[in-house]
Protein backbone atom coordinates (compact mmCIF):
# COMPACT_ATOMS: atom_id res chain seq x y z
CA UNK A 1 0.00 0.00 0.00
CA UNK A 2 1.38 3.41 -1.01
CA UNK A 3 -0.02 6.63 0.43
CA UNK A 4 2.03 9.85 0.24
CA UNK A 5 5.27 7.95 0.74
CA UNK A 6 7.58 9.91 -1.58
CA UNK A 7 10.20 10.41 1.17
CA UNK A 8 10.83 6.69 1.65
CA UNK A 9 9.36 4.93 -1.38
CA UNK A 10 12.53 4.65 -3.48
CA UNK A 11 14.39 2.92 -0.66
CA UNK A 12 11.46 0.54 -0.14
CA UNK A 13 11.30 -0.48 -3.81
CA UNK A 14 15.09 -0.78 -4.15
CA UNK A 15 15.13 -3.20 -1.20
CA UNK A 16 12.99 -5.54 -3.33
CA UNK A 17 14.89 -4.93 -6.57
CA UNK A 18 18.16 -5.73 -4.76
CA UNK A 19 17.00 -9.13 -3.50
CA UNK A 20 19.45 -11.95 -4.23
CA UNK A 21 16.43 -13.93 -5.44
CA UNK A 22 14.85 -12.78 -8.69
CA UNK A 23 11.44 -14.48 -8.99
CA UNK A 24 9.33 -11.81 -7.34
CA UNK A 25 6.73 -9.25 -8.30
CA UNK A 26 5.71 -5.97 -6.70
CA UNK A 27 2.02 -5.10 -6.58
CA UNK A 28 2.10 -1.42 -5.62
CA UNK A 29 -1.35 -0.11 -4.66
CA UNK A 30 -1.36 3.67 -4.95
CA UNK A 31 -3.96 4.52 -2.32
CA UNK A 32 -4.96 7.98 -3.52
CA UNK A 33 -1.55 9.60 -3.00
CA UNK A 34 -1.44 13.37 -3.51
CA UNK A 35 2.36 13.72 -3.49
CA UNK A 36 4.94 12.39 -5.97
CA UNK A 37 4.46 8.73 -5.03
CA UNK A 38 2.69 7.71 -8.24
CA UNK A 39 5.41 9.27 -10.43
CA UNK A 40 8.07 7.37 -8.49
CA UNK A 41 6.15 4.13 -8.97
CA UNK A 42 5.78 4.78 -12.68
CA UNK A 43 9.52 5.46 -13.07
CA UNK A 44 10.37 2.12 -11.46
CA UNK A 45 7.66 0.28 -13.39
CA UNK A 46 9.08 1.49 -16.70
CA UNK A 47 12.48 0.11 -15.72
CA UNK A 48 11.32 -3.27 -14.37
CA UNK A 49 8.38 -5.27 -15.73
CA UNK A 50 8.01 -7.08 -12.39
CA UNK A 51 6.62 -3.90 -10.83
CA UNK A 52 2.86 -3.44 -11.28
CA UNK A 53 0.84 -0.39 -10.23
CA UNK A 54 -2.80 -0.27 -9.19
CA UNK A 55 -4.36 3.11 -8.39
CA UNK A 56 -7.46 3.58 -6.27
CA UNK A 57 -9.16 6.18 -4.11
CA UNK A 58 -7.76 6.51 -0.61
CA UNK A 59 -9.38 4.01 1.74
CA UNK A 60 -6.62 2.87 4.09
CA UNK A 61 -3.90 0.23 4.26
CA UNK A 62 -6.25 -2.71 4.88
CA UNK A 63 -8.35 -2.02 1.80
CA UNK A 64 -5.21 -1.40 -0.27
CA UNK A 65 -3.74 -4.76 0.73
CA UNK A 66 -7.03 -6.48 -0.12
CA UNK A 67 -6.95 -4.83 -3.55
CA UNK A 68 -3.38 -5.98 -4.15
CA UNK A 69 -4.27 -9.57 -3.30
CA UNK A 70 -6.59 -9.67 -6.31
CA UNK A 71 -3.60 -9.30 -8.64
CA UNK A 72 -0.83 -11.24 -6.88
CA UNK A 73 0.47 -14.37 -8.61
CA UNK A 74 3.33 -15.57 -6.43
CA UNK A 75 3.43 -18.59 -4.14
CA UNK A 76 3.93 -16.40 -1.08
CA UNK A 77 2.51 -12.98 -0.27
CA UNK A 78 4.76 -10.57 1.63
CA UNK A 79 3.28 -7.26 2.77
CA UNK A 80 5.71 -4.36 2.76
CA UNK A 81 4.75 -0.91 4.02
CA UNK A 82 5.91 1.94 1.81
CA UNK A 83 8.18 3.52 4.44
CA UNK A 84 9.90 0.26 5.43
CA UNK A 85 12.43 -1.98 3.70
CA UNK A 86 13.64 -5.58 3.69
CA UNK A 87 16.94 -7.42 3.83
CA UNK A 88 18.31 -8.61 0.48
CA UNK A 89 18.25 -12.20 1.85
CA UNK A 90 14.53 -12.22 2.60
CA UNK A 91 13.18 -13.89 -0.54
CA UNK A 92 16.05 -16.36 -0.97
CA UNK A 93 15.54 -17.58 2.61
CA UNK A 94 11.77 -17.66 2.14
CA UNK A 95 12.14 -19.70 -1.06
CA UNK A 96 13.62 -22.52 1.02
CA UNK A 97 10.53 -22.69 3.23
CA UNK A 98 7.29 -24.49 2.53
CA UNK A 99 5.02 -23.75 5.51
CA UNK A 100 1.68 -22.01 5.04
CA UNK A 101 2.76 -19.12 7.27
CA UNK A 102 6.38 -18.06 7.81
CA UNK A 103 7.22 -15.51 10.51
CA UNK A 104 10.35 -13.35 10.26
CA UNK A 105 12.10 -11.28 12.90
CA UNK A 106 11.66 -7.52 12.59
CA UNK A 107 14.12 -4.72 13.25
CA UNK A 108 12.59 -1.43 14.40
CA UNK A 109 14.78 1.59 13.62
CA UNK A 110 14.39 5.32 13.87
CA UNK A 111 15.35 7.39 10.85
CA UNK A 112 19.04 7.88 11.65
CA UNK A 113 19.40 4.30 12.99
CA UNK A 114 20.60 5.65 16.35
CA UNK A 115 17.93 3.61 18.13
CA UNK A 116 16.80 0.17 17.16
CA UNK A 117 15.31 -2.96 18.63
CA UNK A 118 14.58 -6.42 17.30
CA UNK A 119 11.20 -8.11 17.58
CA UNK A 120 12.06 -11.78 17.85
CA UNK A 121 9.02 -13.43 16.32
CA UNK A 122 11.18 -16.56 16.26
CA UNK A 123 11.04 -16.78 20.07
CA UNK A 124 7.60 -18.36 19.57
CA UNK A 125 8.92 -21.13 17.34
CA UNK A 126 8.62 -23.86 19.99
CA UNK A 127 5.01 -23.12 20.84
CA UNK A 128 2.19 -25.18 19.37
CA UNK A 129 -0.21 -23.72 16.83
CA UNK A 130 -2.94 -23.09 19.44
CA UNK A 131 -0.58 -21.07 21.63
CA UNK A 132 0.59 -19.03 18.64
CA UNK A 133 -3.02 -18.27 17.66
CA UNK A 134 -3.84 -17.13 21.20
CA UNK A 135 -0.66 -15.04 21.53
CA UNK A 136 -1.63 -13.32 18.27
CA UNK A 137 -5.24 -12.83 19.36
CA UNK A 138 -4.20 -10.79 22.40
CA UNK A 139 -1.47 -8.85 20.57
CA UNK A 140 1.23 -10.30 22.83
CA UNK A 141 2.72 -11.75 19.64
CA UNK A 142 2.52 -8.69 17.37
CA UNK A 143 0.16 -8.90 14.41
CA UNK A 144 1.26 -7.17 11.24
CA UNK A 145 1.36 -8.46 7.70
CA UNK A 146 4.99 -7.33 7.62
CA UNK A 147 5.95 -9.94 10.21
CA UNK A 148 4.93 -12.95 8.19
CA UNK A 149 4.82 -14.34 4.68
CA UNK A 150 1.69 -16.32 3.80
CA UNK A 151 0.96 -18.75 0.99
CA UNK A 152 -1.30 -16.97 -1.46
CA UNK A 153 -3.56 -19.98 -1.92
CA UNK A 154 -4.26 -20.11 1.82
CA UNK A 155 -5.51 -16.52 1.67
CA UNK A 156 -7.52 -16.91 -1.54
CA UNK A 157 -9.03 -20.35 -0.88
CA UNK A 158 -10.34 -19.20 2.48
CA UNK A 159 -11.36 -15.71 1.27
CA UNK A 160 -9.32 -14.04 4.01
CA UNK A 161 -9.24 -10.24 3.99
CA UNK A 162 -7.88 -7.42 6.10
CA UNK A 163 -10.40 -5.43 8.08
CA UNK A 164 -10.55 -1.68 7.48
CA UNK A 165 -9.81 -0.49 11.02
CA UNK A 166 -7.36 2.42 11.20
CA UNK A 167 -5.18 0.46 13.63
CA UNK A 168 -5.16 -3.29 14.17
CA UNK A 169 -6.48 -4.15 10.72
CA UNK A 170 -4.15 -7.16 10.86
CA UNK A 171 -5.75 -8.74 13.95
CA UNK A 172 -8.60 -10.60 12.29
CA UNK A 173 -6.46 -11.39 9.23
CA UNK A 174 -3.81 -12.94 11.50
CA UNK A 175 -6.36 -15.02 13.39
CA UNK A 176 -7.90 -16.37 10.20
CA UNK A 177 -4.69 -17.32 8.44
CA UNK A 178 -3.27 -19.04 11.52
CA UNK A 179 -6.53 -20.86 12.15
CA UNK A 180 -6.51 -22.20 8.58
CA UNK A 181 -2.77 -22.88 8.34
CA UNK A 182 -1.65 -26.50 8.44
CA UNK A 183 1.87 -25.57 9.48
CA UNK A 184 3.80 -22.52 10.68
CA UNK A 185 7.48 -21.73 10.15
CA UNK A 186 10.00 -19.18 11.36
CA UNK A 187 13.12 -17.53 9.98
CA UNK A 188 15.37 -16.57 12.88
CA UNK A 189 16.76 -13.41 11.32
CA UNK A 190 15.65 -9.75 11.22
CA UNK A 191 14.65 -9.58 7.55
CA UNK A 192 12.12 -6.74 7.77
CA UNK A 193 13.09 -3.22 8.87
CA UNK A 194 10.25 -1.20 10.39
CA UNK A 195 11.03 2.50 10.03
CA UNK A 196 9.79 4.44 13.07
CA UNK A 197 9.45 8.15 12.28
CA UNK A 198 7.31 11.09 13.30
CA UNK A 199 4.74 10.39 10.61
CA UNK A 200 4.41 6.66 11.24
CA UNK A 201 1.20 5.34 12.73
CA UNK A 202 3.14 3.68 15.56
CA UNK A 203 4.02 7.19 16.81
CA UNK A 204 0.41 8.39 16.73
CA UNK A 205 -1.33 8.29 20.09
CA UNK A 206 -4.92 7.15 19.69
CA UNK A 207 -7.27 7.13 22.66
CA UNK A 208 -8.68 3.69 21.90
CA UNK A 209 -6.73 1.94 19.13
CA UNK A 210 -7.85 -1.65 19.80
CA UNK A 211 -11.34 -1.44 21.34
CA UNK A 212 -13.32 -1.85 18.13
CA UNK A 213 -10.84 -4.45 16.87
CA UNK A 214 -11.31 -6.64 19.95
CA UNK A 215 -15.10 -6.63 19.50
CA UNK A 216 -14.77 -7.29 15.76
CA UNK A 217 -12.54 -10.30 16.48
CA UNK A 218 -15.12 -11.51 19.01
CA UNK A 219 -17.81 -11.31 16.30
CA UNK A 220 -15.59 -13.11 13.78
CA UNK A 221 -14.88 -15.96 16.20
CA UNK A 222 -18.62 -16.31 16.86
CA UNK A 223 -19.39 -16.34 13.11
CA UNK A 224 -16.98 -19.24 12.67
CA UNK A 225 -18.49 -21.20 15.59
CA UNK A 226 -15.21 -21.00 17.48
CA UNK A 227 -16.34 -18.87 20.41
CA UNK A 228 -16.52 -21.70 22.94
CA UNK A 229 -12.94 -22.57 22.07
CA UNK A 230 -11.53 -19.04 22.22
CA UNK A 231 -13.87 -17.16 24.60
CA UNK A 232 -11.28 -16.91 27.39
CA UNK A 233 -8.72 -15.45 24.98
CA UNK A 234 -11.29 -12.97 23.65
CA UNK A 235 -11.79 -11.88 27.28
CA UNK A 236 -8.05 -11.42 27.54
CA UNK A 237 -7.92 -9.31 24.37
CA UNK A 238 -10.76 -7.07 25.59
CA UNK A 239 -8.83 -6.45 28.82
CA UNK A 240 -5.60 -5.75 26.90
CA UNK A 241 -7.45 -3.36 24.55
CA UNK A 242 -8.96 -1.54 27.51
CA UNK A 243 -5.62 -1.20 29.29
CA UNK A 244 -3.90 0.07 26.12
CA UNK A 245 -6.64 2.72 25.97
CA UNK A 246 -6.21 3.62 29.65
CA UNK A 247 -2.45 4.07 29.20
CA UNK A 248 -2.89 6.17 26.05
CA UNK A 249 -5.48 8.38 27.76
CA UNK A 250 -2.87 9.35 30.34
CA UNK A 251 -0.82 10.95 27.57
CA UNK A 252 -3.83 12.90 26.30
CA UNK A 253 -5.62 14.20 29.41
CA UNK A 254 -5.00 15.94 32.70
CA UNK A 255 -5.63 13.84 35.81
CA UNK A 256 -9.08 15.33 36.35
CA UNK A 257 -10.12 14.65 32.74
CA UNK A 258 -8.45 11.24 32.86
CA UNK A 259 -10.62 10.01 35.71
CA UNK A 260 -13.79 10.70 33.73
CA UNK A 261 -12.59 9.00 30.55
CA UNK A 262 -10.95 6.10 32.38
CA UNK A 263 -14.12 5.23 34.31
CA UNK A 264 -16.01 5.06 31.03
CA UNK A 265 -13.38 2.71 29.60
CA UNK A 266 -13.49 0.46 32.65
CA UNK A 267 -17.26 0.32 32.29
CA UNK A 268 -16.72 -0.71 28.66
CA UNK A 269 -14.38 -3.51 29.74
CA UNK A 270 -16.88 -4.84 32.26
CA UNK A 271 -19.77 -4.64 29.81
CA UNK A 272 -17.91 -6.63 27.15
CA UNK A 273 -16.24 -9.29 29.28
CA UNK A 274 -17.97 -12.65 29.21
CA UNK A 275 -18.41 -13.49 32.91
CA UNK A 276 -19.57 -17.01 32.04
CA UNK A 277 -16.07 -17.99 30.96
CA UNK A 278 -12.49 -17.58 32.19
CA UNK A 279 -9.81 -15.01 31.38
CA UNK A 280 -6.81 -16.34 29.47
CA UNK A 281 -3.97 -14.87 31.53
CA UNK A 282 -1.38 -17.20 29.99
CA UNK A 283 -1.48 -15.41 26.62
CA UNK A 284 -1.91 -11.87 28.00
CA UNK A 285 1.13 -9.59 28.13
CA UNK A 286 2.83 -9.07 31.50
CA UNK A 287 1.87 -5.40 31.79
CA UNK A 288 -1.83 -6.15 31.37
CA UNK A 289 -1.63 -8.97 33.92
CA UNK A 290 -0.09 -6.58 36.46
CA UNK A 291 -2.50 -3.71 35.80
CA UNK A 292 -5.75 -5.67 35.56
CA UNK A 293 -6.23 -5.96 39.37
CA UNK A 294 -6.03 -2.13 39.56
CA UNK A 295 -8.60 -1.87 36.77
CA UNK A 296 -11.00 -4.22 38.53
CA UNK A 297 -11.15 -2.06 41.66
CA UNK A 298 -10.74 1.26 39.79
CA UNK A 299 -7.43 2.31 41.32
CA UNK A 300 -6.47 4.61 38.48
CA UNK A 301 -3.47 6.64 39.64
CA UNK A 302 -0.79 3.93 39.09
CA UNK A 303 -2.07 3.42 35.53
CA UNK A 304 -2.10 7.18 34.96
CA UNK A 305 1.48 7.52 36.22
CA UNK A 306 2.64 4.67 33.98
CA UNK A 307 1.05 6.31 30.97
CA UNK A 308 2.61 9.69 31.75
CA UNK A 309 6.08 8.18 32.14
CA UNK A 310 6.15 6.34 28.82
So what's the pLDDT on residue 110? 77
81: left (phi over 0), alpha (psi -120 to 50) or beta: beta
So what's the pLDDT on residue 163? 75
User: In angstroms, how far is CA 59 from the centroid of its own chain?
Assistant: 17
Q: Write out residues in the chain with pLDDT < 50, as ranges.
A: none
So what's the pLDDT on residue 310? 66
Question: What pTM was estimated for this model as a whole?
Answer: 0.91
- Give per-residue burial for 206-237: e unless 16+ CB within 10 Å, then b: eebbbbebbbbbbebbeeeeebeebbbbbbbb
Answer whether 103's CB lies under 8 Å from 148's CB. yes
End-to-end Cα distance, the chain: 30
So what's the pLDDT on residue 109? 83
So what's the pLDDT on residue 66? 92
So what's the pLDDT on residue 165? 65
The 10s digit of each residue's pLDDT in 178-215 is 999 999 999 999 999 998 866 555 556 899 999 999 99
Amino acid sequence: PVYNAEKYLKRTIKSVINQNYEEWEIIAVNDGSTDNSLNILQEFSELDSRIHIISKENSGAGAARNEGLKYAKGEYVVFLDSDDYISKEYFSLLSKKNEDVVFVDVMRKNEDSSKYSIEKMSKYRNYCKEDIIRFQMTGEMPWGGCRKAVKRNLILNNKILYSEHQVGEEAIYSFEILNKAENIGFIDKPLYCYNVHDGSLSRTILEDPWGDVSLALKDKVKQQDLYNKYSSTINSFIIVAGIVSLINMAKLYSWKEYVIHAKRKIKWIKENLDVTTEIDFKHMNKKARILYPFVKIQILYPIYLLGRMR
